[in-house]
Amino acid sequence: MQDRIEEIRKQFTAEIEAIQSLDQLEQLRIKFLARKGSIAELFDALKNASPDQKPVMGKLLNELRSLAQAAFDAAKSRLEQAAQPQEAPFDVTLPGRYVPLGTKHPIVQTLDEYKRIFVGMGFSIVTGPEIENDYYNFDALNFAPDHPARDMQDTFFIHGSKILLRTHTTPVQVRIMEQQKPPVRAIMPGKVYRNEAVSARSLVQFHQVDGIYVDKGVTFSELKGTLVTFAKQYYGSSIKYRFRPSYFPFTEPSAEMDITCYLCAGKGCRICKHSGWLEIVGSGMVHPNILKRVGYDPEKISGFAFGFGVERSLLLRAGIDDIRILYENDLRFLRQF
């Protein structure tokens, strides 16, 4: 009888390994585990075993039955699970969900462009405080005590104090030179404030990019080269330009640079007010008084400086004639940049 038990065990093990479906498994159950299956038959045969064999065979048979039952249960749950429709983790054929992405404001894009161009020419980027005092905003920059820009009408002063909102980014030039020995080569982008009526041409808050290069023997021709290089990169290499004498208290001599109107190429249009020229930057050689004030020797050290209006350059290049549109946050406008 022991041989017969062993035979059934081998047969069962071989057959259950080959099972592929629940149907096949059911056939297997009927064959081995059902009431008339081969294991039940063996239990019946146990009655005829000799009394000393009975307990031994009984034990073997019980082992076979629980082994077979466990193997059957395991196979059943494996096959049932496989029969479940498998849910794919995701459907790669579906179109993606739209994620609305913001973009940089055109003013920020323009500031980035200034930085990129000047960093390419070896300038570093420095920032200074928007809340200034009248020393850095005016005195250190050689403004005469009775200069009209000091008037409350033009400058936002904090009541009864010498603290103000800076009217230009030029004071940062003085702050860097106080902290650094020559060479100093930096641009100073940032917000500036003027107490003016808001109109198509002016805002109370706008942006400037000042720049300075001071070292031994810096010349006016380097100023020209730097500004022309900037203008050709920003406005395009086909522009024509001219330098006109001008006046700023902190530069001597001073000059403004004009380029041929970007829109009409010099023929005359509403953007250039029919002159064919657009003023794009104020500049000059740093005034010796300023060099002295920061402890530089004007006999040995010279330099140039310049200041751009950021909104203005953006408007000129895009051919827009009302500055206020930059601050209205109309998406139809912003999406064009």
Binding residues (CB under 6 A) for ligand DAH: these are 168, 170, 210, 248, 251, 282-284, 305-307
Quote the least distance from Cβ 180 to ligand DAH, whole Å.
17
Q: Which residue is nearest to ligand DAH (CB)?
A: 307
- Token pair listed for 95: 């179109």
Q: Which is nearer to ligand DAH, 79 or 121 (CB)?
A: 121
β-pairing verdict for 241-248 and 251-260: antiparallel
Quote the least distance from Cβ 286 to ligand DAH, whole Å.
8
Quote the least distance from Cβ 306 to ligand DAH, whole Å.
5
Instruction: Tell me which residue of 143, 291, 308, 135 sits closest to 213, measured CA to CA.
Output: 291
Q: Which is nearer to ligand DAH, 184 or 305 (CB)?
A: 305
What is the rounded CA–CA span in Å between residue 177 and residue 154? 27
Quote the least distance from Cβ 106 to ligand DAH, whole Å.
21
Q: Which is nearer to ligand DAH, 141 or 272 (CB)?
A: 141
Q: Which is nearer to ligand DAH, 262 or 304 (CB)?
A: 304
Question: Sheet of 301-309: strands edge to edge?
Answer: 124-125, 184-193, 205-216, 301-309, 277-286, 251-260, 241-248
Q: Which is nearer to ligand DAH, 61 or 214 (CB)?
A: 214
Quote the least distance from Cβ 149 to ligand DAH, whole Å.
9
- Token pair listed for 14: 């071989």
Which amino acid type is present at position 114? Y
Quote the least distance from Cβ 331 to ligand DAH, whole Å.
31
Query: Percentage helix, strand, coil, to 5, in the chain?
Result: 40, 20, 40
> Is the dihedral angle over the CA atoms 132, 138, 142, 145 positive or is it negative?
negative
Q: Which is nearer to ligand DAH, 170 or 260 (CB)?
A: 170
What is the rounded CA–CA span in Å between residue 283 and residue 251? 7
